[in-house]
Structure 1
Amino acid sequence: MLPGHCFTIEGSNPSVWLFLDGWTVSTENRARSAQAGHMILITETGADVLTR
């Protein structure tokens, strides 16, 4: 990776329900939920976590 590149690390949960569209995911009981993850920016001096 080069300075200026940005990527995400996303968590996973085996207890999810995948909608028929093959993209939308919710909790197993189909409750509304949000995705959790962290965005990392590569800099000249290392990496900065942009989300916590």
Structure 2
Amino acid sequence: MYRRTVTDVVSPPEGLILFCGMSIGYEDAAVPYAHTGRAPLTETVTFLGG
């Protein structure tokens, strides 16, 4: 939904697309849902520039 907006700001190299998601806040323990594991950051994120 926001990929194009983020792309306009970040300007990734040609051939790359941005896939991003961020969760902000605290878990609501009253909401039942399946917990899933997380891949290590190095497997899922590429930092450009610096």
Which protein has greater RCO, CA pairs closer than 8 Å, 6+ apart? 1
Normalization by structure 2: what TM-score? 0.25
TM-score (norm 1): 0.25
More helix by share: 2
Q: Per residue, is there more strand in 1 or in 2?
A: 1
